[in-house]
Structure 1
Amino acid sequence: MSQIEAKANPRRRSRGPRKPPRSNIPGANPWLEVPYITRKVPTYDILGEESLARIEATADRILAEIGMEFREDPETVELFRRAGGEVRQIGPEASNIRFEPGLIRQLCTTAPGRFRQAARNPARSVEIGGDAMVFAPAYGSPFILDSEGNRRYATLDDFQSLVKLGQSSPWLHHSGGTICEPTDIPVNKRHLDMVYSHIRFSDKPFLGSITAPERAADSIEMCRILFGADFVDRNCVIMGNFNTTSPLVLDGVTTRGIRTYAAAGQGSIHLPFLLGGAVTPVTMAGSCAQSLAESMVGVALTQLVRPGAPALLAAFLSSLDLRSGSPTFGTPEPALGSLVMGQLARRMNLPLRCSGNFSTSKLPDAQAMSQSMMSMMAAAQCGANYILHAAGFLDGLLSMSYEKFVMDCDLAGALHVYLRGLEVSDETLAFDALAEGGPGMHLFGTEHTLRHYETAYYDSALSDYTPWETWDDNGRNGAMARATARWQSTLEHYEPPHLDEAIDEALLAFIAQKKEAMPDAWH
């Protein structure tokens, strides 16, 4: 029996499909649980027309006068040549392509402004684009940080535990992708275990592998086993999260992966990972122009492969500590940049991925949450549609934290309330609540209060609202201790969603066949 079978078999009892479960722990606010957020709060437009036009013109100028470099993928180079790009060979397997102003933007117009990613539980399917907002866990960390600041390499057990925490949270709508790197599994095989873990331990949508084109193909093939080939051909069921090699480079592994997802009609996210002063200008306007240019090229490639394939414009804007060269996250300048990227995405009618619960703190402490709040509020205000890194991000993305994961989920729950906006009606104006007792009377027992007491306010699962004396008697637990207790209890009470046994067996057979066909590779 394989390692992943051993982990899966104890829970392979069959149960029928069910609706998304209601959480049975305090702070769940089940009346707020939705498959994705429909924002009722307006986006914040920070720049006027002239400034936005200048950023767009600079992005076009970057592509026309500097161009993008493409490495080790002649098919992608040929696609852009046929579309009108000016190709110049700069090495045996490298080309620089320049694009007339407006060409790349025009190629992006066939990408949908909004699309649905189907989940295996239809009640969990999400909308991406427009006024829809989707939260997903952090992505890509090789380490796990415990509550005392000790750091260790992540394992498959960690990966599956984090998938379970995401499945259990009513505030995360998406299972994410590489929540952490399971370093105990060979590099060339771990994508199979990760995709299977998302399928087996969650019924929310998820991301697939992007580290090699064949791994992208395996991810899509596993979805064909799960959903059926015809359904996958007609629907987006999986997405890939692709990074450019900034500044202004796309390598062949990335472009071939993008083409693999697009050819199958699946979604892709096109993200320049920009560190100010390192791979992008230190000034945020320049970073926004570069981010727009690089991301548009990725989106355009999907449309050359399959017009109408879902694609997201994306931005990961970050500052640096210019004294040491260390990346900084959760700072105000990138938050402002996220507001700008929201405006640019809306002008292109493309869904946007940006921002998240970012922090460079090494503990889920005050620094972590203040930085996260800065970054996450920017995502909420800019109108981002898909927010990766919404839970667990610590140590500048090098580490995942169980405590930070549940703290971030609690913040995400509060944002569910914030983004619902404020209703003004006879019921919410509550004249009768004041009139019932008159001047000087307490409102706690009025009929209006009793009608709304369960839904009036967000009930945090982690915050302590008790008097000092009660808090003292209960052991003076701080947020860290409460978060530890929360994630441990959640995993203890976790129940896996139903998965058809025949599908499960087919997936495991596919994984076994793939693993047996290649030797382990650890680099």
Structure 2
Amino acid sequence: MRPKLNFFSEEEIERIHNMSLDILESMGMKIPSEEALGILEEAGADIDGEIAKFTPELIENAVETAPKRDELTLYARDEEYDINLSEDAPVLAGMTQATNVIDVDTREKRPATNEDVGLMLRVLDQLDNVSIASTLATPQDVPEERMDQYTWATAIKNTKKHITAPSFNDQCVKDAVKMGSIAVGGEDKFQERPFFSTWVLTSPPLELDAETASTLMEASRHNIPTLVSSGPILGVSAPVTIAGGVAQAHAENMACLVLSQAVNPGAPFIYTSFARIMDMKVTNISMASPEFAIMKGCMAELGHLLDLPTRMPSMLRDSKKVDAQAGFEVGMGLVGALESEIIGGLQLDMDIVIDFADLVFSNECMGQLKRIARGVEVNDNNLARELISEVGHGGDFLKTLHTAQNFKDELWDADLVERRMWEYWEDDGCLDMEERALARVKEMIEEDTGPLLDEELQKEIDAIAKD
């Protein structure tokens, strides 16, 4: 059975949910988009200027039509990498929109390039425990007004896995659909298996801007899964208390759910949240505080109250490098891993820096988290009662057939983690985790064969970004 870690009792989660319903009915959501407001009004929302107010019944109807946790498959360009959330969870996904990378050779921080984005995607394509090859960074060497289009083009050319990338507005979604259709041989084929998802971020408190609303509506029309996230900052754009902050974030997500389902009932909707804190001492945002981890668990509970698939960015780090701080910040991410279907990660320095070495490190960490989240299966084979009698007092289980047949399934197999005797580690150069991860990713980069699409298809996709 998959283990759980709950922060709320049933009574508490109902109380928070009811407060969120009250917020939406009495205060509503500001959405400065005539198109969105018109769709919501037709669906039954009360429109007052730029404010849309929602009855509990309207929200209940939207919950009813949205795909449930055990119904959603995230398609990949190659069917081998399809993700069935009811069977494969938790899975690791990269985040998006970092702006800097740690150079593989110089180890200096510098702006991310389009070449970096493509190379990172091809590395992610090779990592067993990274299921969603998100565009980790936004290239800083392309025209600013077309950054998202270049990001989509680079992603589609460089991975066979499911992709998540940002879309500034509806035009970006349309362009991404064109690119995806080229990659699979036509829009009909793409619509059968849309192999990417896109982000929708609210603007706390209680607002969804017009461009973002257009992204949500366009993605919903195409049945493209949308990762809808409210990311309030406690004490800044939400109450400083966790309970108040998650109640507000839950309300914002539910408002977006209504809009999505009003546009296209049954459109895939993934519930997520970047609820976070500001360190009051240094006035920076933290993406890896204990409260951040707690809120990922809390928001996953609220998403599951609606029976929606959830994605929580539980493996982000404030640490600047792959070090002890990065390690224990990943460990805190277990809170989200035990509740969410999808775990977001692979970024450092408050979500803005990518280290190629960290991709391999995080892949190793996710392997351990997946083993913990798998829990313990109790059956006759695993209880091994007859074997215990057979081996007897003071016996040895190492030589038994049962051990040979079961150890690979039961015990997680370490790759980068150092478990050898000191002398062997010393003979290999006394490398720490960062050094081992860097060596491994350099091997992968040296073996890289470049983009994964035919050259002519690449040119067609690039033309859309440049147009």
Q: Same fold (TM over 0.5)?
A: yes
Q: Does 1:324 align with 2:282?
A: yes
Q: Does 1:397 align with 2:348?
A: no
String of CA shifts for 1:333-353, please: whole Å, max 9, x gaps. 232222222222222121112
Is the CA contact 2:330–2:365 (under 8 Å) kept in the aligned structure 1? Answer: no
Is the CA contact 1:295–1:313 (under 8 Å) kept in the aligned structure 2? Answer: yes
Is the CA contact 2:293–2:314 (under 8 Å) kept in the aligned structure 1? Answer: no
1:172 Cα deviation (Å)? 0.9
Q: Does 1:512 align with 2:467?
A: no
Match runs of 1:59-208 below 5 Å: 59-71=20-32, 73-89=33-49, 95-113=50-68, 114-128=71-85, 132-145=89-102, 150-176=108-134, 178-208=135-165
Output the amino acid matched with 1:370. Answer: F
Q: Secondary structure at the match of 2:13?
A: helix
Q: Secondary structure at the match of 2:132?
A: coil
Q: Give 1:315's match in structure 2, choosing from 273, 285, 297.
A: 273
String of CA shifts for 1:457-485, please: whole Å, max 9, x gaps. 22222111121122222221111111110
Output the amino acid matched with 1:247. Answer: P
Output the amino acid matched with 2:42. Answer: R
Residue 7 of structure 1 aligns with which residue? none
String of CA shifts for 1:424-479, please: whole Å, max 9, x gaps. 34433345665666544554344333334544422222111121122222221111
Residue 413 of structure 1 aligns with which residue? 367
Residue 17 of structure 2 aligns with which residue? 56
Identical positions, percent: 26
1:102 Cα deviation (Å)? 4.2
Match runs of 1:263-274 below 5 Å: 263-274=221-232
User: Judging changes above 3 Å, is the alpha-carbon distance between structure 1 residues 163 and 49 closer, same or farther for their aligned structure 2 residues?
Assistant: same
Structure 1 window deviating more from structure 2 (415-424 vs 158-167): it is 415-424
Residue 27 of structure 1 aligns with which residue? none
Which 5+ residue runs of structure 1 have no aligned equivalent? 1-39, 90-94, 518-523
1:402 Cα deviation (Å)? 1.5
Q: Secondary structure at the match of 1:388?
A: strand
In 1, the alpha carbon distance for the partners of 2:410 and 2:343 equals 27
Is the CA contact 1:145–1:151 (under 8 Å) kept in the aligned structure 2? Answer: yes
In 1, the alpha carbon distance for the partners of 2:298 and 2:311 equals 13
Q: Does 1:256 align with 2:208?
A: no
In 1, the alpha carbon distance for the partners of 2:161 and 2:330 equals 24
Q: Does 1:374 align with 2:332?
A: yes
Residue 19 of structure 1 aligns with which residue? none
In 1, the alpha carbon distance for the partners of 2:447 and 2:36 equals 48
In 1, the alpha carbon distance for the partners of 2:457 and 2:423 equals 57
Output the amino acid matched with 1:185. Answer: V
Residue 13 of structure 1 aligns with which residue? none
User: Judging changes above 3 Å, is the alpha-carbon distance between structure 1 residues 512 and 231 closer, same or farther for their aligned structure 2 residues?
Assistant: closer
Structure 1 window deviating more from structure 2 (124-133 vs 166-175): it is 124-133
Q: Give 1:212's match in structure 2, choosing from 169, 183, 188.
A: 169
Output the amino acid matched with 1:136. Answer: A
Residue 344 of structure 2 aligns with which residue? 388
User: Judging changes above 3 Å, is the alpha-carbon distance between structure 1 residues 490 and 513 closer, same or farther for their aligned structure 2 residues?
Assistant: closer
Which 5+ residue runs of structure 2 have no aligned equivalent? none
In 1, the alpha carbon distance for the partners of 2:282 and 2:3 equals 38
In 2, the alpha carbon distance for the partners of 1:122 and 1:346 equals 27
Structure 1 window deviating more from structure 2 (77-86 vs 141-150): it is 141-150
Residue 333 of structure 1 aligns with which residue? 291
Is the CA contact 1:315–1:354 (under 8 Å) kept in the aligned structure 2? Answer: yes
Is the CA contact 1:144–1:151 (under 8 Å) kept in the aligned structure 2? Answer: yes
String of CA shifts for 1:106-125, please: whole Å, max 9, x gaps. 33321111322221211111
User: Judging changes above 3 Å, is the alpha-carbon distance between structure 1 residues 98 and 423 closer, same or farther for their aligned structure 2 residues?
Assistant: closer
Output the amino acid matched with 2:79. Answer: P
In 2, the alpha carbon distance for the partners of 1:128 and 1:444 equals 36
1:299 Cα deviation (Å)? 1.6
Q: Secondary structure at the match of 2:145?
A: coil
Is the CA contact 1:275–1:317 (under 8 Å) kept in the aligned structure 2? Answer: yes
Q: Secondary structure at the match of 1:280?
A: coil
In 2, the alpha carbon distance for the partners of 1:192 and 1:373 equals 35
In 1, the alpha carbon distance for the partners of 2:240 and 2:57 equals 26
Q: Does 1:240 align with 2:184?
A: no
Output the amino acid matched with 2:4. Answer: T
The number of residues matched between the two structures is: 463
In 1, the alpha carbon distance for the partners of 2:342 and 2:278 equals 25
Structure 1 window deviating more from structure 2 (434-443 vs 262-271): it is 434-443
User: Judging changes above 3 Å, is the alpha-carbon distance between structure 1 residues 338 and 189 closer, same or farther for their aligned structure 2 residues?
Assistant: closer
Q: Give 2:440's match in structure 1, choosing from 468, 486, 498.
A: 486
In 1, the alpha carbon distance for the partners of 2:181 and 2:398 equals 55
Is the CA contact 2:58–2:258 (under 8 Å) kept in the aligned structure 1? Answer: no
In 2, the alpha carbon distance for the partners of 1:451 and 1:117 equals 33
1:408 Cα deviation (Å)? 1.0
In 1, the alpha carbon distance for the partners of 2:299 and 2:401 equals 46
Is the CA contact 2:338–2:373 (under 8 Å) kept in the aligned structure 1? Answer: no
CA RMSD of aligned residues (A): 2.4
Is the CA contact 2:136–2:347 (under 8 Å) kept in the aligned structure 1? Answer: no
Q: Secondary structure at the match of 1:356?
A: strand
